[in-house]
Structure 1
Amino acid sequence: MRVSIPTAASLLMALAISFQGDGSHGHGHGGHHAQPIVELNETELARWHSPTPVSYYTFDIEREGDADLKRRPGFMIAHIILMSLAFFGALPIGIILRSTQHPAHGVPMLAFYSLTAVGLAASGIYKKATPNLYEGSVHGKQGYFVLFLAASLSAVDIVAGVMRFVSFFRSDDRTFRRFWRYVILSQEVDTRLQGPEYTGLIVEDPEEYEVHKLGRASDDSPISPTEDETEQWANEVHRHRHLRHASLASERTLFGNQRSNSSDTLNEAAKEKVTLRTRLLKAGQFAFTVLERSILLTGIVVYTGGCRESYVNGCLAHLIKGGIFWCYGLLTFARFLGSWAEYGWAWNRNPTNFKYTAEFTESFVIFLYGITNTWMERFGAKAGDPYSTKQVQHISIAVMFWFAGLVGMGIESKRVRRWLASSTFSSVGHTPNAPKDAVEEPASYLGSFNPFPALVIGVTGAAMAAHFQTYLFQVEIHKLWGNLLVGFSVLRCLTYFFLWLGPPKSILPSRPPTEALGSFFLACGGMVFMFSTEEVTIAAMRRGRDDVMMFLNLGVAITCLAFCWTLCMVGFKGYLKSRSHSGVTYRSHPVAATTTQTA
């Protein structure tokens, strides 16, 4: 039986119509052919949502609720400032110092716990003085869990610090200088091994002992020219080693240079144990980072009274998805600055042959997002409900993420690339004496040019810019952040275009300027995405704040602040690493050197 193309198209259209049901959207203001409403209709809004209850923000700032109750917004402001300094100031600095093995990493961690304790005290006072205006809040429980996780990750340092403090308190020398060096910086050596009687006790290496034997044997035997040269060489080696050991006399004593006699098997087991510990620590740090960032969102939601009752699904969708784009933009900016250059992720040559590229990671995250979000679009729908137009739209976008992520991962696979290139070998013909590596890779193989992550983000932005909304202001906000995502996609494609013309040849970060602009567009688009929740837009319309420029400027300001914070953190880590590797440098480009000399 033959089916014509028009007949098949008609069947697909009928299937889509049966899926979407009545085509309702938003609050039920007709189908997608209806014009967006300019002014807020409170009567129609009350049909779909309950009246907005009093929140902590409206209670403190707008003076809603019981007028006889005293407001204590100062304690909440103190809580916000102290916790921000703790989680976005002291904690990142402590993590950076810890990653570079800096002896002062305990100082910012001590400041972190101190600021957190005072911030929790301010929050406790605020709760006692303010009625409960958000039933079922989990912000406090989540915060305590994050603090417990932070204490668990730094438990080793905490125990070591407590032991040093107890040892300092029991010692005779309790000066502030020793407290700072021993307890805080953990730099002081045991004083029992610093007396003059231990200064000359240096353990000689076996090679040095053999040199002494060689020198004594040469005194009792006739000296031939060859033996004379050997003795001179041995004496030079001995003198060099003696000078080196003498310079380390204050550090290497008879009690401090014992060598381990463990076997190779035990060494391998120790390496595996360290690797497992490192992986677990990194997994814990990743979970801690995600929970730490989510605390900020839950705190804002609880204080402003958002995501309640019928708003919860849409609110969570906008906050989670917008937060993903926001973090994606910050990570892209960190790549531009040079983060993860050791993996070849900073638009540079891979110095360590790390097998996963940045594009593979992006494609994997896109795939994971799509495969999970496909089934979440029906949350809140009852069994047997037809698929609405909105659900078909969002499920289609999720499926695009799903399979585009798979394609992106496949392109990044070296094995798949070899399979795709194998067809060219048969066309060349079989040459018996040709080496296996006779075919040279093109210059484009030096980099990863995978447009699918940018394609997914760009199509999502274009689709959401055309997304139907009930009110005109909501349409404009969606168009704003949709165009920002499209801008990122275009700039990422320009990055690939320029790098295709000149692939990176150095292990240093190349810093394409298109990535700096693209990361800003992406992060700002994610921020405006979070602003575009139905609850926020309705609140803005009620207060006469439905101004697109205000939303854009607010998103730009927050993004610039976050980029400045990222630059400070990445720059501080780079400064510490440059001090520990001060002997490593790089030469300037010939063009730059010539320009400098001319100037």
Structure 2
Amino acid sequence: MLLHRVSPVSSALLLLAALPLVLAHGDEHEHSGTAMDMGNTHVNMTTAATHAAALAVPNNYFRYPEFAGWMYAHIALMTFAWAIILPIAVVFSVARSRFTIPAQVAFLVVNGLGLFTSIIYDAKTPDLYPNNAHHKMGWAVTWIAAVWFLMTFVNLYMARSEKAKERHAMTADNIAQYDRLQNHRWSRDSGHDSATLCSGSRSPSSDSVPAHKLESPEDFEEEDESEEQGFIQSNSVDRFLLRKVPRISSGRALTAFKVVFTLIERCMPVLGFVSLLSGGVVFGGLYRQRLIFSGMAHAVKGGIFFWYGILTLGRWMGAFSDFGWAWNVKPEHPMVSRFAAGL
């Protein structure tokens, strides 16, 4: 009976002693749950802030609103330079026109203004297309255009030196022909009597050449110099090129120069097309990472169709007649070069 009376009392005492431990354990769980909730809230807020920041900065230049005027000026200037002025300059260069140098100067000036606008825009905006090829390609084709411009100067002075040689040979032939005519006249007059000589001295002989028909070498030079120096006047650069260019205007150096000049001259429109195309891709933020191969495939296929149409138009206009592409009868060697006749 005593055991039965003691057990309820001891049980009550044990429960009262354990009550603070139970309350403390429950409070610990409450604090840990609150800390976990606060941690989750902090992570969610950080993720939301990162997402909002990503939405605040667009992923392409087309959607970037700040300093858009510089970008549109860059697009307009580069399109005008590479799609309008450059083809005209190439046509003048192929035709060896005296307007080649002014057209090239206009192209370089407009292209330089386009580069200036791109430099300002890049300095004021973030890089939304990292490691793109358009920036590097733009500088590369600009340097190639500058080399083409300098080679046009050298080619112009080569043509002037060749014309000078032709004028010299033509003048020598005229002098030789005049000497033969004079010798023939004096040999025929040597058998006549003095009266005939006297009468001949009073009246002009039928074999004599009028003075106004004899042209001096200076006349030939003045006739061609005005057109050849239409844009370049005599200065230190002119004298330097006239002195240095004839050294490379013969032999293998001349052949290599003409081949390189022709390749650059013909490839400039293609380089401009590729530059404008890559600029559009960067502006729109297209074909990133692995999609670059899909973009390249579309560019190659579209470029083939576009340039085949340009070549067909040129053939229809007779641009390739020396290769037999414009007519049914292919020209032979006397009319065109051996290389063109062999194609």
Using structure 2 for the length normalisation, give the TM-score.
Answer: 0.58
Matched position secondary structure for 1:205: helix
Matched position secondary structure for 2:84: helix
Q: Distance in 2 between matches of 1:314 and 1:84?
A: 25
In 2 relative to 1, CA 87–103 (structure 1 residues): closer, same or farther, beyond 3 Å? same
Partner of 1:340: 320
Partner of 2:146: 151
Greater relative CO (CA pairs within 8 A, separation 6+): 2
In 2 relative to 1, CA 278–157 (structure 1 residues): closer, same or farther, beyond 3 Å? closer
Partner of 1:295: 275
Alignment of 1:350 with 2:330, yes or no, is yes
1:405-434 Cα distance to aligned partner (Å, 9 max, x none): xxxxxxxxxxxxxxxxxxxxxxxxxxxxxx
Alignment of 1:317 with 2:297, yes or no, is yes
1:301-359 Cα distance to aligned partner (Å, 9 max, x none): 100001102322212111112211221122112222222122221254222464566xx
Alignment of 1:59 with 2:64, yes or no, is yes
RMSD: 3.4
Alignment of 1:87 with 2:82, yes or no, is yes
Contact 2:185–2:207, Cα closer than 8 Å, also in 1: no
Matched position secondary structure for 2:128: coil
Q: Distance in 2 between matches of 1:207 and 1:137?
A: 68
Partner of 1:107: 102
In 2 relative to 1, CA 114–249 (structure 1 residues): closer, same or farther, beyond 3 Å? closer
Partner of 2:214: 245
Note the C-alpha offset of 1:160: 9.8
What is the count of residue pairs matched by the alignment? 232
Contact 2:330–2:341, Cα closer than 8 Å, also in 1: no
Q: Name the larger-Rg structure.
A: 2
Range with bigger deviation, 133-142 or 339-348 = 339-348
Q: Give 5+ residue unaligned stretches, structure 1.
A: 1-50, 61-70, 164-185, 187-201, 224-234, 257-268, 358-599
Q: Distance in 2 between matches of 1:299 and 1:236?
A: 75
Matched position secondary structure for 1:89: helix
- Identity, in percent, stands at 27
Q: Distance in 2 between matches of 1:238 and 1:272?
A: 46
Contact 2:331–2:341, Cα closer than 8 Å, also in 1: no
Partner of 1:492: none
Q: Distance in 1 between matches of 2:151 and 2:341?
A: 32
Contact 1:55–1:304, Cα closer than 8 Å, also in 2: yes
Aligned counterpart for 2:188 among listed residues 213, 218, 234: 218
Contact 1:150–1:288, Cα closer than 8 Å, also in 2: yes
Note the C-alpha offset of 1:157: 4.3
Note the C-alpha offset of 1:238: 5.4
Q: Distance in 2 between matches of 1:130 and 1:238?
A: 82
Note the C-alpha offset of 1:88: 2.1
Contact 1:342–1:352, Cα closer than 8 Å, also in 2: no
Q: Distance in 2 between matches of 1:145 and 1:209?
A: 58
In 2 relative to 1, CA 154–236 (structure 1 residues): closer, same or farther, beyond 3 Å? farther
Contact 2:88–2:103, Cα closer than 8 Å, also in 1: yes
Using structure 1 for the length normalisation, give the TM-score.
Answer: 0.35
Structure with the larger helix share? 2
Q: Distance in 1 between matches of 2:306 and 2:220?
A: 50
Note the C-alpha offset of 1:101: 2.4
